[in-house]
Amino acid sequence: MIALNIQKELQSTDGKMLLNLNLRINKGQLVTLYGPSGVGKTSTLRMLSGLLKPGEGVITVNDTTWFSTDKDINLKPQLRKIGYVFQDYALFPHMSVLQNLEFALHKNQKSNIITELLTIMELDQLKGRKPDTLSGGQKQRVALARALVQKPEILLLDEPLSALDSTIRLKLQDYILKVHKKYSLTTILISHDIGEIYKLSDWVFVLKDGLLIQEGTPSEVFISKKVSGKFKFTGEIISIEKEDVVFIVRVLIFSEIVKVIAQESEIQNLGPGDKVIIASKAFNPIILKLE
Amino acid sequence: MNSFKGNISHINTKGNLSIITIQINDKIKLKSIVVETPKTASFLHINNEIAVLFKETEVIISIDQNSKSSVQNSILGTIKSIEKGALLSKVNLATSAGDLTTIISTDAITDLNLKIDLKVTALIKLNEIMLSNT
Amino acid sequence: MNWEPLILTFKLALVTTVLLLIIAIPLCYWLAYSKSRIKPIIETLVSMPLVLPPTVLGFYFLVAFSPNNALGDWLNGTLGIKLLFSFPGLVIASIFYSLPFMVHPIQSGLYSISPSLKEAAYVMGKSKFSTLIRVLLPNIKSSLLTGIVLSFAHTIGEFGVVLMIGGNIPGETKVASIAIYDEVEALNYSAANSYSLVLFAITFCILLMVYLINGGYLKKSRK
């Protein structure tokens, strides 16, 4: 279990902000830090990994103290055994994909993990390539594979998929789920994408102005209290077309596209790429058994 | 989507289902059936202000003001404007609770001879009304 | 033509550049990543040779290295090192004189590397030293090259400092720039011209090489 109870003064765009968090994350969970930009999500990951020193507090991981102002403990990032996928991937430009993975090996670690990761992440074809010849999605896969070479127990993902288009994002979400389960990781994800959070995470921490304002399962946090409809999904608008006096809105929900009839006033602030909730009363859908 | 605000005046719960009565104003009362109870949804309590939502396409228009039907919710209104399309048309009503929009077939407008300033009744089945916490 | 001044010039430039590189890498690392309050002062001192007349630098070295002075006396008396009018003295003066030309490119090279590269290496358990050697330096190759070549070329062109503390001892401190000045003084224009021409040609070639390599022209033609 990760227990993190920290305070840190951060410099935000509107001046100083006090980050004051008390989080508990169970082993094996995939949790999301959710909230607007500049509330301290990335700083939290950096403090957990030892790249940023908290002002005050305690961080313990599986009963080992990583940081404590009282006991004057501050474990170096080198000793924390964390896999970290940076927002800009942080691949070493002068090394090939394979060399990037090999660089991550411990001194006496066998290299068979690399073969395994190359296979899992489907990178065999790309192993001789330099990072600047790869697409965003490919870079992301390399960064994820590299973060796992040392077989960490904790994986930190800082908005790993925000720069990718929706089809590649869906595929990468599958990779994340796959490695999270295969290596029994405790994973902390930063994400703004509610659909993604739904698909990936067990638990959501909502941060605002440096404070934890809400936590719960994705459905508790995002929809249960907003509308009474029981037939409810989050999705992303693909297109909006006018038809007579109504509009046909195509929405991508997980990997299915559904069509919804909407009226002019409903679509006024909407456009392709927007995240929406599609809701209907539980009375309306019909059920047919698949043969 | 049509949206009116009102206060819960009555809750009738049986098992997992509840019929909620919402007083919109002194003339209009709307009923909604939900798969919730005051225990599962905290906003379901008497006098709480909530919004009732229903889609334009779910509204039935009747020109007979005293017609009897199984539809529980009815709102009296006057036609303000009609936007005709090839198959579907939009009819805007002025009601005592505010504007209400319906989308009905263009043929129905011809059959019922709907015109501006005509007094009509908008009918909405109780399973079409959604509730939203304001 | 006497080749000695030219050979001495290149020897001085080579020794200076090698020592500068060794000094500049840790200095730049500190300048790029330290949050120390004295950093602006160090940065200013490093840049001073850019704006000061070389003679000012030379004058202070002259004073400092002089046996009449405590430092010069100690160096001369205790360690037996004579820095005034000697090759080692020239090397030390040249290091200070060319310092900004080595430091600035390397420092800006380190600034341009995303901090996440360094952090990614730390999280993978790599030490700061190993990260510097295996991640940071390989990614600022062109900055290193620029620093090396500019320092080398700048040391070749050195005149004022040498004149002040080196003097004109053949084989010890008489570098090409001094030799040219000497020949002109003696109205020996053809000898001055030969030295100048050789210096011109060599420095032109060195700088051209830098621009070709950093501009990627050589790589493209190989593809």
**What is the count of structural domains for chain A?**
2
Q: Are residues A246 and A211 in the same domain?
A: no
Residue C219 has pLDDT above 80, yes or no: no
pLDDT, residue C213, reads 81
Residue B37 has pLDDT above 90, yes or no: no
Among the listed residues A63, A26, A62, A32, the one whose alpha carbon sits nearest the alpha carbon of residue A45: A32
pLDDT in tens, A1-57: 899 999 999 887 777 889 999 999 999 999 999 988 888 899 999 999 999 999 999
Residue B132 has pLDDT above 90, yes or no: no
Q: Distance (Å, rounded) from C-alpha B2 to C-alpha A263?
A: 10
Number of H helices, E strands in chain B: 1, 10
- Domain at B2-133: CATH code: 2.40.50.100
pLDDT, residue A197, reads 87
Average pLDDT, chain C: 88
Pairing of strands A186-190, A154-158: parallel
pLDDT class for B125, splitting at 50, 70, 90?
very high
Query: CA B101 → CA A194, A260, B28, B70, B104, distances in Å?
Result: 31, 18, 16, 22, 10
Q: Which chains touch C (3 or more CB pairs under 8 A)?
A: A
Q: DSSP of A176-226, one letter per residue? A: HHHHHHHTT-EEEEE---HHHHHHH-SEEEEEETTEEEEEE-HHHHHTTTT
Among the listed residues C121, C143, C149, the one whose alpha carbon sits nearest the alpha carbon of residue C208: C149
Domain that residue A257 falls in = 231-280
Amino acid at C101: F
Amino acid at A224: S
Q: Is residue A286 part of a domain?
A: no
Among the listed residues C135, C215, C122, the one whose alpha carbon sits nearest the alpha carbon of residue A131: C135
pLDDT, residue B76, reads 92
Residue ending a domain, among A176, A193, A222, is: A222
Q: Distance (Å, rounded) from C-alpha C200 to C-alpha C202?
A: 6
pTM: 0.69
How many pairs of residues across A and C have Cβ atoms under 8 Å apart?
53
pLDDT in tens, B105-118: 999 999 999 999 99
Residue B134 has pLDDT above 80, yes or no: no
Residue range B66-76: mean pLDDT, rounded: 87
Query: What are the strands of the beta sheet with B130-133, ordered from one edge?
Result: B29-34, B17-23, B2-14, B49-54, B130-133
The SS3 of residue A128 is coil
Q: Which residue has the higher pLDDT, C184 or C72?
A: C184
**Which of the residues in chain A have pLDDT under 50?**
225
Which residue ranges make up each domain of chain B?
Answer: 2-133
C117: closest chain A residue by CA: A90
Amino acid at C52: L
The SS3 of residue C79 is coil
- Substitution target from A94, A105, A151 for chain C, most C beta carbons within 10 A: A94
pLDDT, residue A218, reads 82
pLDDT in tens, C164-217: 888 788 888 888 888 888 889 888 999 999 999 998 998 898 888 888 887 777
Amino acid at A75: L
Give C4-33+40-175's CATH code, choosing from 1.10.3720.10, 3.30.499.10, 1.10.760.10, 3.40.950.10. Answer: 1.10.3720.10
Please determine, for the modelled complex, whether the ipTM score is greater than 0.85: no
pLDDT, residue C222, reads 40
Among the listed residues A199, A211, A215, A155, the one whose alpha carbon sits nearest the alpha carbon of residue A41: A211
Q: Which residue has the higher pLDDT, A254 or C49?
A: C49
Residue C49 has pLDDT above 50, yes or no: yes
- Substitution target from A281, A283, A286 for chain B, most B beta carbons within 10 A: A281
Which residue of C114, C127, C139 is in closest CB contact with A78? C127
- List the CATH number of the domain containing A183: 3.40.50.300
Residue C221 has pLDDT above 50, yes or no: no
Contact A153, A127 (CB under 8 A): no
Q: Are residues A266 and A156 in the same domain?
A: no
Q: Is residue A18 part of a domain?
A: yes
